[in-house]
């Protein structure tokens, strides 16, 4: 399923739950429509956007977490595939973009925590760090959020980052992909590309 990756030494990946707007964000970043499954959980393989002439690929990994009508074992298999992909290509991945829904992320994280589970978003954030990939949290759908600063501070708190969120602009990126408002994300990714001494890739963001 996951063996379609072009042979590139530099990569940025998008990861996250289903229905958080990863495909819309991918379209905004590349200027191209990315095919998506009609139902969550249908897309089981990564969507690669390959610039061919450049040594770089942008990858939208399948969404995971709760998906209506998708059996739990399948959901777990998707998550395992995503984790394995990131582990396999960790040395090439210069930034991992964790896309979350700004409206519902806190509620979802808290619901899982109250049940004694590690929420996927939190787990993914720390997993990227553990394998040496700088995580950037793209907090999507912020145009629908009223208590913006409170919500972003709360997200920092859940991720183990000390608020206020403004001091984490290389890590927390409030965006609205549908409205084309993604500059905080592209700025954060550009920072990590620069840190990786890959200024040749800045033009992609």
Handedness of CA 180, 29, 130, 79 (dihedral sign): positive
In a domain, 57, yes or no: yes
pLDDT of residue 38: 46
Count of H-run helices and E-run strands, the chain: 6, 6
Range of the domain at 88: 11-204
In a domain, 60, yes or no: yes
- Token pair belonging to 176: 């609205």
In a domain, 1, yes or no: no
Question: Could you tell me which of 147, 196, 148 has the C-alpha nearest to residue 172?
Answer: 148
CATH number of the CATH domain containing 103 = 3.40.50.300
CA dist., res. 105 & res. 197, Å (int): 33
Are the CB atoms for 22 and 16 separated by under 8 Å?
Answer: yes
- Could you read off the pLDDT of 7-18 as tens digits, one per residue? 999 999 999 988
Number of domains in the chain: 1
User: Which residues are bridge partners to 165 per DSSP?
Assistant: none
- Could you read off the pLDDT of 132-180 as tens digits, one per residue? 999 999 999 999 999 999 999 999 999 999 999 999 999 999 999 999 9
Query: Which phi and psi (to 5°) does residue 101 adopt?
Result: -90, 115
pTM (predicted TM-score)? 0.92
In a domain, 2, yes or no: no
- Higher pLDDT: 44 or 204? It is 204
pLDDT of residue 68: 67
In a domain, 4, yes or no: no
- The CB-based long-range contact list for 169-175 (8 Å cut-off, 24+ gap) reads 170/134, 170/136, 171/134, 171/135, 171/136, 171/137, 172/136, 172/137, 172/139, 173/136, 173/137, 173/138, 173/139, 174/102, 174/139, 174/142, 174/148, 175/25, 175/138, 175/139, 175/140, 175/142
- Token pair belonging to 10: 């530099």
Out of 1-10, 21-30, 153-162, pick the least confident.
1-10
In a domain, 188, yes or no: yes
DSSP 84: H
Peptide bond before residue 164 is cis, with ω within 30 degrees of 0: yes
Are the CB atoms for 60 and 12 separated by under 8 Å?
Answer: no
In a domain, 6, yes or no: no
Are the CB atoms for 8 and 49 separated by under 8 Å?
Answer: no
Q: What is the average pLDDT across 98-120? A: 94
In a domain, 39, yes or no: yes
- 62 CB neighbour count, 10 Å cutoff: 24
Where helices occur in the chain by DSSP H, the ranges are 22-30, 72-88, 105-114, 120-130, 148-159, 183-195
Q: What is the average pLDDT across 33-51? A: 66
């Amino acid at each position: 399923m996951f063996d379609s990756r072009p042979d590139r030494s530099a990569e940025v990946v998008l990861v996250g739950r289903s229905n958080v707007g990863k495909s819309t964000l991918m379209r905004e970043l590349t200027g191209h429509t990315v095919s998506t499954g009609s139902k969550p959980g249908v897309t089981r393989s990564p969507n690669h956007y390959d610039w061919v002439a450049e040594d770089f690929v942008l990858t939208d990994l399948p969404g995971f977490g709760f998906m209506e009508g998708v059996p739990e074992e399948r959901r777990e298999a998707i998550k395992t595939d995503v984790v394995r992909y990131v582990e396999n290509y960790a040395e090439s991945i210069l930034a991992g973009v964790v896309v979350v829904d700004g409206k519902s992320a806190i509620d979802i994280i808290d619901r899982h925590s109250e049940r004694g589970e590690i929420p996927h978003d939190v787990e993914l954030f720390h997993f990227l760090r553990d394998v040496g990939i700088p995580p950037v949290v793209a907090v999507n759908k912020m145009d629908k959020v009223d208590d913006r600063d409170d919500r972003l501070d709360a997200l920092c708190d859940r991720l183990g980052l000390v608020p206020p969120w403004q001091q984490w602009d290389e890590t927390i990126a409030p965006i609205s992909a549908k409205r084309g408002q993604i500059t905080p994300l592209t700025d954060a990714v550009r920072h990590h590309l620069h840190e990786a001494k890959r200024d040749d890739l800045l033009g992609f963001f």
